[in-house]
Amino acid sequence: MAAVKQTVEHVASLEKYKHGFVTDIEQDFAPKGLNADTVRFISAKKNEPEWMLQWRLEAFERWLALDEPDWAKVSFPPIDYQDSYYYAAPKEKTGPKSLDEVDPDLLETYKKLGIPLREQEVLAGVVGAPKYAVDAVFDSVSVVTTFKKELAQVGVIFCSMSEAIREYPELVKQYLGTVVPVSDNYFACLNAAVFSDGSFVYVPPGVRCPMELSTYFRINAENSGQFERTLIIADKGAYVSYLEGCTAPMRDENQLHAAVVELVVLDDAEIKYSTVQNWYPGDPETGKGGIYNFVTKRADCRGDRSKVSWTQVETGSSITWKYPSCVLRGEGSSGEFYSIAITNGRQQADTGTKMIHLGANTRSRIISKGISAGRSSNTYRGLVSAHPKAKGARNFTQCDSLLIGKHCAAHTVPYIEARNGQSKFEHEATTTRLSEDQLFYAMQRGLTQEEAVQLLVNGFVKDVLQELPMEFAVEAQKLVAISLEGSVG
């Protein structure tokens, strides 16, 4: 495996994480530590109504009674929840009226990340290029949301969660916490108490959202966690495609990212949710630093014939603990999960999905591609279950693992529970090592070793890449190449 070893070494030598810069910006912090006053501080900072504060306080009380989960195949030193900031926001005297009033350093940050915050920047592109609206969340606060007016014309609400709580309290009250209940799990409960911001989307009945919506999350401040909360509602017959991107500076300490995403899908509606997660993975040699990505994502297919598709490209984070799931409640509803999870260096990932079939004739499809390199560990954990009423439920699962080098690990932990006799579940799994033979074959045809690894890996993840919205698939492909240069190849 000499060639593979060289690749791994070469990858390790590359400058792997290009988003590792820190923006020097004046920030407001909540006092370090976590108690009921922290929760009140956050709520007050955001001018929230009383009902929201009560909701948070109740979550905090419940969180105190919960224990951190330990069943995932990841290991890390105990987290001191009192040694972190739960609220950090770019300092501003009053809310900016327009982008011209936003701190130029902040704008520069997003420029470096290549994220268009000005609508004209998006429009200035090639004629006919697809538009996409952006909500940018910097540490705890949404900085700007673009294309709101254009979206409002068709009745689509796209704004920060804070704004939604103030402007659309009825919608928020109706749906918040109905997909991921407050005390669903330890990290979701913590999020409910201290969540800072996030995106809110409502697509009214029969409306096909005219552009891609996207949110870019950036953790910048030191010693701070990020707890964003996203709620997307597709009303009857609506359609929306949403993309989330994440980056963070390189820091020596671990930072906690405990987000919650709730999707509500009514009759005949469809949500396509894509994630390109590129949090700082920590130092590849020592494993020092990096983001703990402990995220709860769930979709509730409430309506008949509703549909949800999760696509994720997970390349970053020191530890990933995440299972974007679908509750298939509506009759004939369907859920899809397409995942590429790449671990390199000392990264650990325990990720997968849950497809919970409650309604009759519900369908689900899972395609998971795990790639492990370096000294990393990559686990697929998935649940497919059929309720007694879910007659005619169908699932197809394919889990493929690719190993690069000799010191990495891949695990597959599927749980399958059929509680009626009329369900059909299929599960296929493969584990392969990137073979020296294949590498040599490609190199004999003229590819450099690096090009050969990229080509083979892109072949491996192709089924998932093609599920991403076109304009992000290229970005994801590059990201896969970069992560593999540093980890797989």
Partner 1 sequence: MLSVSNLHATVDEKEILKGLSLEVPAGEVHAIMGPNGAGKSTLSYVLTGRSGYEVTAGSATLDGEDLLALEPNERAAKGVFLSFQYPLEIPGVPALTFIRTALNAQRKARGEAEITAPEFLKLARQKAGELKIDFEMLKRALNVGFSGGEKKRMEILQMAMLSPRFLILDETDSGLDIDALRIVADGVNALRSPDRGMLVITHYQRLLDYIKPDRVHVLSAGRIVASGGPELALELEREGYDKYARAAA
Contact positions vs partner 1 (CB under 8 A): 2-3, 435-438, 440-449, 451-452, 455-456, 458-463
Query: What DSSP designation does 183 have?
Result: T
Identify which of residues 415 and 441 has a Cβ nearer to partner 1 in the complex: 441
Provide, rounded to whole angstroms, the least separation between the CB of residue 311 and partner 1.
17
Tokens in use for 51? Answer: 């009902």
| Angle, CA of 126, 132 and 138, to the nearest 5° | 120
Q: Which is nearer to partner 1, 128 or 446 (CB)?
A: 446
In whole angstroms, how close is the CB of 9 to partner 1 at the nearest point?
Answer: 14
Phi, psi of 397 (to 5 degrees): -125, 130
| Smallest separation, CB 335 to partner 1 (Å) | 24
* Smallest separation, CB 379 to partner 1 (Å): 22
For tokens 């969340």, what's the residue? 137
Closest distance of CB 384 from partner 1, Å = 24
Task: Give the Cα separation of 397 and 339 in Å (integer).
Answer: 12
Q: Give the CA dihedral 271, 276, 282, 285, nearest 10 degrees.
A: 130
Of 10 and 62, the one with the shorter C-beta distance to partner 1 is 10
Q: In the complex with partner 1, which residue's Cβ is closer, 148 or 365?
A: 365
Dihedral of alpha carbons 448, 450, 453, 459, sign: negative
Closer by beta carbon to partner 1, 51 or else 441: 441
* Pick 38 or 454: Cβ nearer partner 1: 454
Q: Which amino acid is at 194?
A: V
Q: How far is the CB of 13 from partner 1 (least distance, A)?
A: 17
Nearer Cβ to partner 1 (291/476):
476
Residue 437: CB minimum distance to partner 1, A: 6
Q: Which residue number, 125 or 459, has a Cβ lying nearer to partner 1?
A: 459
Number of neighbours of residue 257 by Cβ within 10 angstroms: 23
Q: Enumerate the β-bridge partners of residue 413.
A: 381
Measured distance CA(369)–CA(458) in Å, rounded: 11
Nearer to partner 1 (CB atom), residue 70 or residue 437: 437
Element containing residue 211 per DSSP (H, E)? none
| Shortest distance in whole angstroms from residue 446 CB to partner 1 | 4
The length of the chain in residues reads 489
* 193 close to 225: Cβ distance less than 8 angstroms: no
Nearer residue to partner 1 within complex by CB, 420 or 431: 431
Which among 171, 167, 231 has a CA at the least distance from the CA of 201? 231
Interstrand relation of 260-265 and 307-314 (parallel, antiparallel or unpaired) = unpaired
For 235, the enclosing helix (H) or strand (E) is none
C-beta of 35 vs 435, nearer to partner 1? 435
Nearest approach in angstroms of CB 464 to partner 1 is: 10
List residues bridging with 1 in a β-sheet. none
Please report how close the Cβ of residue 436 comes to partner 1 at its closest, in angstroms. 7
Centre a 10 Å sphere on the Cβ of residue 435 and count the other Cβ atoms it contains: 12
Instruction: Identify the H or E element spanning 59.
Output: helix 50-65
CA distance 308 to 239: 10
Token readout for 329 is 């409640």
State in angstroms the smallest separation of the CB of 378 from partner 1. 18
Closest listed residue to residue 19, CA positions, set 89, 112, 107: 112
Contacts of residue 172, defined as CB under 8 A and 6 or more positions apart, other chains included, come to 161, 164, 165, 200, 231
